[in-house]
Chains A and B, each alone.
Chain A
Amino acid sequence: MKCDIVLAGVGGQGILSIATVLGFAALENNLYLKQAETHGMSQRGGAVQSYLRLSDKPVYSDLIPFGKADLILSVEPMESLRYLPYLSPNGYVVTNTTAFRNITNYPEIDLIMDEIKKLRHAVAIDAEAIAKEIGNAKASNMVMLGAATPFIDIAIESIENGIRAIFGRKGEDIVNLNLKALHAGREFAEANR
């Protein structure tokens, strides 16, 4: 098993919560893992990424080589395109469709969606809408994680355990909300892959 994931977003969107849940699941499965994060200046609304590498063999580099990522998981549509040089020919792009506009020259969203549609394997999902439907827009990152799970070779139960471990201290309601978000995202991706 080997899965190299580029997590993408904008500083402040909380992509690291996705990485933390996956990290927990990887440890539970005795997988090797390296996860490089962006800390510092870019966290102030700049483009941020995390390279998450999971494998049943030791992982050497903290960075993913060009053309080797199995998955780009982006919580913002334009940011999903920034890391295409990392994507392998058979890799998937799973992206949120809600734009985060904190710059004046943000491109037209239709043009961005056209680029995403051109990709060989892409799932575009309105994570906020789905999260709102199940109760809280704040769960959108777990919707995104759910939408990526069909492309990550880790049992869904382990990922659920990750959510329980990470959100446990916030109470049962929050755990259940995020579990629901996970499954809603997963169902969407399986129906639209």
Chain B
Amino acid sequence: MTKKLLLGVEAIGQGAIDGGMSGVYAYPGTPSTEITEYIQENKVAIVRNLHREWSANEKTAMESALGMSYAGKRSMVCMKHVGLNVAADPFVNAAMTGINGGMIVTVADDPSMHSSQNEQDSRFYGKFAMIPILEPSNQQEAYDMTRTGFELSEKLGTPVLLRITTRLAHSRAGVIPVEKAVAENKLSIPDDPRQFVLLPALARKRYQILLDNQVKFEEASENSPFNSFIEGEDHSLGIICCGIALNYLMENYPDGCPYPIVKVTQYPLPSKLVKKLEKQVDKILVIEEGYPIVEEHLKGFFDQGKKILGKLDGTLPRTGELNPDIVAKALNINTSEGSPIPELMVNRPPALCKGCGHHDSFKALTEVMSEYGYGHVFSDIGCYTLGVLPPYNSGNSCVDMGASITMAKGAADAGLFPAIAVIGDSTFTHSGITGLLDAVYEKSNILIMIGDNESTSMTGGQDSSAFGRIESICEGAGVDPKHIHAIEALPKNHRKLVDLIKQELDYKGVSIIIPRRECIQKSARRISKSKNQ
């Protein structure tokens, strides 16, 4: 079979199709978005008509994937790391129910926070839910582990977590796929009609099964073809490499590493391999991207065994992604930087696109807010978060999807006036609606500006499931229709928008203003696509 140049995320999409997946469920989020996009464009996926529409958020995606597994088919759910917080409830409980058709939960972490608000490590969630974790070290493994992951899931009766980080997600390499995708599973209902019923009495049984299964999960890790012990002559040090850390180590030893290595790409940690290493060597260096999870586990509370080096003792930095130079330093290998960056260099932060409708919203909002001073605008997650930066400096919070509305509500409850939420259409769909219900119920004195660019833009312009229905959703949630206003976000409407904001600040209750104009990137793509056809 011919080699294909694939991003890590694309390799996962291809692996899922070739592994007989019947549906992918996801909400876009960097660095995970392109898994679903790859499947959406793939010929086999189209011919087989695999499920590949976007979900409203990660929780609905996770539950739908579990439902597809219940019906006997293989499913995958994809998200960025913080999306797993949103989906944590079904995730942890899917470990309790187990699966019928194979199920893979793919989560892309973002150490260094290239496009995220934190660098939480999803392996922690895998451990918490007590399920197997796969962490491929390169693009080929990302493909192979996804393709065979469904089988593993079915064999062990559990969802499996596939964890990657930004660098593997967004790096391309040659991948050799199999000749032909395996057939999809047939529709089948679980043998035990109560397997998925987590009533306390039944849940207790399921929990015992999950606990008993831990032995099987560890055996699977011990026997995994993706975990290995690599011999080395110099026993003064042993190295445990998790996921892509192995590449940074080998970059420093192109002709072979002198120290023995345990390569970990499947968890629970393969005890036999780790114990074999511990017997041979004087001390152990753990190289892992994200939190020091393996390191902490090996070190334990009393730290009485052999010396464990890693992020906790400062051998490796605690924050940010790894790279070959960081690993070189940990091994006392000399590195040499090229020339320094000239002093005249300035930063070039991301910014709202020229001609974006959010400019028009922020211009008007900033003008009105100049009367009230700073501290009144609760922003949210999306392109419009960039309104926090100059020239608008508008927005005093950005915490998690949907928090603009609920934080504005809480601040209004505390007596803050005005309290304004700024949220995008897709974020509103994701997690804004439930907060709106709270605000309406209590007649909270807040103004919500829904910047509707008819797109999930920061991640590349995906469709949002509330497209064309924002007003009716707000009305359905109970907002007084007299206080729901849509306005085209254009410079010529500046005065109108300013007046509208002022008018609604005078109303004591929930007001909605929807400045609307299609994302200019999305328009440009649509126009260029129609030209090419």
Contacts and interface: CB of A to CB of B under 8 A. Distances in A.
A38 interface: yes
Contact of A60 (B3, B250, B325, B339): B250
B341 A34 contact: no
Interface in B294-344: 323-325, 328, 335-342, 344
Contacts of B350: 11, 41-46
A33 B115 CA distance: 25
B328 A65 contact: yes
Interface stretch (B15-23, B48-56, B168-176, B402-410): B168-176
Contacts of A86: 338
Contact of B171 (A37, A66, A84): A37
A44 B458 contact: yes
Given A33-B174, A47-B348, A65-B328, A23 B5 contact: yes
Contact of A88 (B3, B338, B346): B338
Interface string B1-44: 00101010000000000000000000000110110000000000
Contact of B351 (A23, A38, A79, A102): A102
Contacts of A11: 350
Given A41-B30, A86-B338, A63 B5 contact: no
Interface majority SS on B: helix, strand, loop or mixed? loop
Contact of B337 (A38, A42, A62, A67): A67
Interface string A93-113: 000000000110111000110
A44 B352 contact: yes
Interface residues of B, number: 51
Contact of B325 (A65, A81, A111): A65
Interface in A132-169: 169
B478 to A, nearest CB: 35
B349 interface: yes
B28 to A, nearest CB: 11
B272 interface: no
Interface residue tally on A, bucketed by range: 35 or more
Interface string A6-49: 00001110000000000110010000111111111111111100
B335 A44 contact: no
A61 B338 contact: no
A67 B338 contact: yes
B403 to A, nearest CB: 18
Contact of B338 (A45, A66, A170): A66
A189 interface: no
Contacts of B328: 65
25 contacts: A35-B172, A35-B173, A37-B172, A40-B31, A41-B350, A42-B350, A44-B352, A45-B353, A60-B254, A61-B248, A61-B250, A61-B324, A62-B244, A63-B167, A65-B335, A66-B338, A67-B335, A67-B337, A84-B342, A85-B339, A102-B354, A106-B346, A115-B344, A169-B532, A170-B532
Given A81-B345, A103-B347, 15 more contacts: A27-B5, A33-B5, A42-B115, A46-B350, A57-B254, A60-B250, A62-B168, A63-B248, A63-B324, A66-B335, A66-B336, A67-B337, A85-B341, A107-B344, A111-B344
